[in-house]
Amino acid sequence: MNHTIINFLKSCQKHPAIAWTLSMLWLFLICWLAFLWNLGKFGLIDETEPLFAEAARQMTVTGDWITPYFNEETRFDKPPLIYWLMAIFYKIVGVNEWAVRLPSALSAIALAGLGFYTLRYFTPQNPFSNSELETEPTETISENLDAQKSSSVEPAKPWLIALIGSSLIALNPETIAWARVGVSDMLLTGCMGSALLAFFIGYAKAENSQLPETHKTKPFPWNFLLFTSPWYLAFYVLVALAILAKGPVGIVLPALIIAAFLLYLGNFREVWREMRPIYGAILMLAIALPWYILVILANGEDYINSFFGYHNLERFTRVVNHHWAPWYFYFVVVLVGFAPWSVYLPVAIARLRFWKRSIWRRQPRSNQLGLFALFWFAVIFGFFTIAVTKLPSYVLPLMPAAAILVALLWGDIILSIPANFAKNQESKAVEITPTESIGEPPPSKTKFYSNFLGLTFWLNVAFWALGAAAFFSHILWLKKVKDPAIPNISEVIQQSGLLIAGGVIWAIVAGVGAFVLLNRKKRWLWTVNLVGFLAFLIFVMMPAFFLMDRYRQMPLRQLAETVIQIKQPGEELVMIGFEKPSLVFYTRQPVQFFRRARSGVNYIKKIPDTQADSTSVLMVGYPSKFEEGGLQPNQYTVLDKAGAYQLVRVSKQVVARINQSDLSIDKN
């Protein structure tokens, strides 16, 4: 591996065109695997994705691009950007799953690409390298000085860290999951993450840039476009898009992150002036405000109370939709969602020594990317930990920051190569201690950080081993997995063999990782993790998507096709016992949902009072749910069966004869 790294880095230095070509091919490969492979080959996932897909479809049908609708009701949960993008892709590739998910996938791809660019040009040096060299043994000092000053590898180091960082941005479970689902979370993360990266690029470049005085006298908007860094301009545009993607959080979080970062460094006023915030605010308002004005004019207080009140303020201050979780919830989400790289986050953060503020304040801006990523990670993590309503997707925007932190750490680990090896590729590789990877100064602290990193390596192996044990011991916990849409989900998962396949992959990775550590080849461990994760993605995660689609979503699509073929004019469609929005999207018609069978029957009884153009109703549900509503098998006609569901036609007169004392409609 060391020979490969040296050769690659030297080729990057000597042949930039080759380096860019290979890098773009690598980015294309990982993004295709993570985000585009089989993207549109499985159906929409209930219960959230079809809400977005159908609201976007309704825009193309009604021509109303201001107020989102789902199932003949306004949908004020999210702003319109995700609906607009889906609707545009409907026009380009048709109304299908590809069009629904492309906005999310492209957002993730753009974020990985910009992450590569940022790390390529702004890979920071270790700000503590001088103090590190002062305290090491004489022979180590001479080797490291030589390596830092004369090594032919060092100038090409950003290429490797950029490749690692972009890989980590793309290849983690949380990002892959949300980039493959047509909801607004990945779009928000793409806009917000790109905005923060654009800010840092502008911030770093502004340190040494000087513009002619004549630019300051230009009238608006030319003074804004010429005097402000184009990256700051991109920052404002992307923040405005984030506001259109998910609301106030699109500006609140970037503002908190940047403010905390600049206040820590003591240059808030300086950067505030160079960012031209007044013009930036005007630009953001020009992009984001018109839609908010139009939707409020169209819907009044209903929109204000629903979106700003219920979906923003109340989600932060109280539990909404039963989404409660303990205070440590996001520790678990990050551990699993950023696996297997998450075990390196503590040592990656400690590597920065953020508590040494005086040293950080003396660093050039281009050397502060790691510190900026730390504030990015910490602010989002702390913000949503404080929030009362908790969901796994809320911390998705911190995953790029976590990737940058870990990439910088692994860049140090992999490239901590003595100069004599860098100069002579044929010499025997010298394995150094973890201390040399992270460079800690005093002997006591050196030993502490050395042990810390060494422990982290073994925790990485233990993580894979524990995962393997969990997969192999599925008989102990699998029966606790429940999904009302798949009554026999335990048997389905067990018979698929995916748990065994997952256990085998995780066990192999753990074994190879232990072998690498025991043979003091720590630089191989990143490759072991990468190959193991890709194997898990290809042979377990992707088949799991298709398995769940086959048993959870395909039955509903099959029944939807039948509904389209046999539905009579004026005949209503009612779903009993479940609320599956995908039925609305695939049937292209309204569906009345009732979780309680009695409420559904009561609703049907009321239909003849207001609607007399059809004598029957189509119903979807489990046979047991029909019985709960008082319907016997001889009282309806079964039109189709799929999975555990039945599609039946029942006469309104039959329903009207059912004896029930309570005829109120309780749509729960």
Q: What is the pLDDT at residue 226? A: 55
What CA–CA distance (Å, rounded) separates 106 from 117? Answer: 16
pLDDT less than 50: residues of the chain: 130-152, 212-214, 216, 417-440, 661-668
Instruction: Dump pLDDT digits (tens) for 398-441.
Output: 999 999 999 999 988 887 743 333 344 334 433 434 333 434 45
DSSP for 268-299?
HHHHHHHH-HHHHHHHHHHHHHHHHHHHHHHH
Sheet with 636-642, side-by-side order of all strands: 592-594, 572-576, 616-621, 645-651, 636-642
Longest dimension (CA), the chain: 96
What CA–CA distance (Å, rounded) separates 98 from 103? Answer: 9
What CA–CA distance (Å, rounded) separates 272 from 278? Answer: 10
Q: What is the pLDDT at residue 142? A: 39
What CA–CA distance (Å, rounded) separates 347 from 297? Answer: 52
SS3 category, 576: strand
Task: Name the strand (E) or helix (H) holding 70.
Answer: strand 69-70
Q: What is the pLDDT at residue 548? A: 93
Residue 436: CB atoms within 10 Å: 23
Residue 142: CB atoms within 10 Å: 14
Helix axes 369-386, 185-206, angle to 10 degrees: 140
DSSP for 208-259?
T----GGGGGSPTTHHHHHHS-HHHHHHHHHHHHHHHHHSTHHHHHHHHHHH
| Those residues with Cβ within 8 angstroms of residue 290's Cβ, 6 or more apart along the chain or in another chain | none
Nearest Cα to 149, choosing from 122, 128, 121, 130? 130
| Those residues with Cβ within 8 angstroms of residue 252's Cβ, 6 or more apart along the chain or in another chain | none
Place of tokens 């990775």: 509
Cβ proximity of 135 and 441 under 8 Å: yes
Q: Tokens standing for 512?
A: 């190879």
Q: Tokens standing for 301?
A: 């207080």
Upper half-sphere CA count for residue 448 (Cβ side, 13 Å): 9
DSSP 73: E
DSSP for 541-555?
IHHHHHHHIIIIIHH
DSSP for 588-651?
TS--EEESSHHHHHHHHHHHHHH--S-SEEEEEE-HHHHHHTT--GGGEEEEEEETTEEEEEEE
Question: Partners of 637 in the beta sheet?
Answer: 649
DSSP for 76-143?
-SS-SHHHHHHHHHHHHH-SSHHHHHHHHHHHHHHHHHHHHHHHHHHPPP-TTHHHHHHHS-HHHHHH
Long-range own/partner contacts, residues 655-659 (CB < 8 A, 24 or more apart):
655/601, 655/604, 655/605, 655/617, 655/631, 656/605, 656/608, 658/601, 658/605, 658/629, 658/630, 658/631, 659/630
What's this model's pTM, rounded to 2 decimal places? 0.89
Q: Would strands 73-74 and 69-70 be described as parallel, antiparallel, or unpaired?
A: antiparallel
DSSP for 163-180?
HHHHHHHHSSHHHHHHHT
Question: Partners of 573 in the beta sheet?
Answer: 618
User: What sign results for the dihedral spanned by CA atoms 221, 227, 232, 234?
Assistant: positive
Q: What is the pLDDT at residue 667? A: 45
